[in-house]
Structure 1
Amino acid sequence: MKIKILFIVLVFVNTVYSQEKFEVEKMNFSIEKPENWLIFENEEVLKNLEEFDFSKENLDDLIKSSANGIDLVTFLKYDPNIYVGIIPTIKIRSYKTTSKILDSLSVEVNKFLQQGKIPLDNFKIKDSLEVVKILNFNVIKFSVLFTLKRGEKKHEILSKSYYILKDGYFISINFIEEIDKENNNVFFEALINSIAITK
């Protein structure tokens, strides 16, 4: 019994204080894993990236094979099997792009946002697209608002996005939470500052 209790305590301590990173070496990208959040990695994609000696062309082909991008990892603050409502979520994906420079990607993303064809209720831009620095790397940042409906109930959602341009693709980091329910902004900003990017 004592051994079982000790094991539970050690696991808890390890979970609370671990500073693990989610890393995709082939994309030269890493971010700190949020402590005590549930992690859903795209194991098949990550395994392929780790096990095979991907050339730039191989990586391009992998990303281009999915028109809607590739899920790399999703972090959920609460267990969806227990929690009722909108769960604060962090989603990291990769999308192909023909843009070679950040200005070009900015124009592409801004045009998409301004078209108003995004299939979300009450979609609107909260914070216009801007270029910010993470460490010494320029990235695109913006945020949007929209409404999600579940039965008769409406949930007002804030979604913050960061786009990191790489060679032939970009990495999208998306933070989603319900407005006036929780405020994870300070936590999200700290997580963004944990990102490590190389060319």
Structure 2
Amino acid sequence: MGLDATAALLQRLLAWGLMPLWLLAGFGDWLCHRAQRIEDSAGTRESLLHWLMLLEMGSALAAALLLELNAGVLALLLVLCAAHELTTWWDLRFAYPRRRIPPVEQWFHALQFSLPWVGFVSLALIHRGQAAALLGRGEAADWTFRLKAQPLPLEYVWAVAVAGTLLVALPFAEETLRCRRAAAKAAQRSRLREAVRAAR
């Protein structure tokens, strides 16, 4: 299999294998949070950490879909993947003492940890010249951020955007709303208890 054929195969695997699996893993993670009722344990703070991870990976996804994959964009993707890894560690360190993390949720986490790196390495292999340029080897590094000269099919970009909204963004918005409502109810109950004690 030649070089061009290898790159084409990797692109198909990214588009029709990794991408759907990654989005479904995000939805599965939300289902686990809902079943665990995180609004009654880790609450809003954990939900906000989820949004930070979504911002990191959403930015990486938008860059990979829309921008020319050169040294500058690959460096950005590397930074965002590393930031996501650190935020994930922060999230788990916060959540673990406050709630149970069952095996099925850990399995979804494993997908969410690994798939961004698989995507990054695959893109680096497809664009190996600019990946090598990051290390100061081969061709000159291109650090500019610009739209793809040959854009991905608009239907595909829109399909990813809609699927990401329906499977990830909206569910996690519901999670944050649920956590805030639970926090408001808990605060109201606390104020009521304080009022009852003061009246005695």
Could you tell me the TM-score, scaled by structure 2's length? 0.23
* Structure with the larger strand share: 1
Greater length-normalized contact order (CA 8 Å, ≥ 6 residues apart): 2
* Structure with the larger helix share: 2
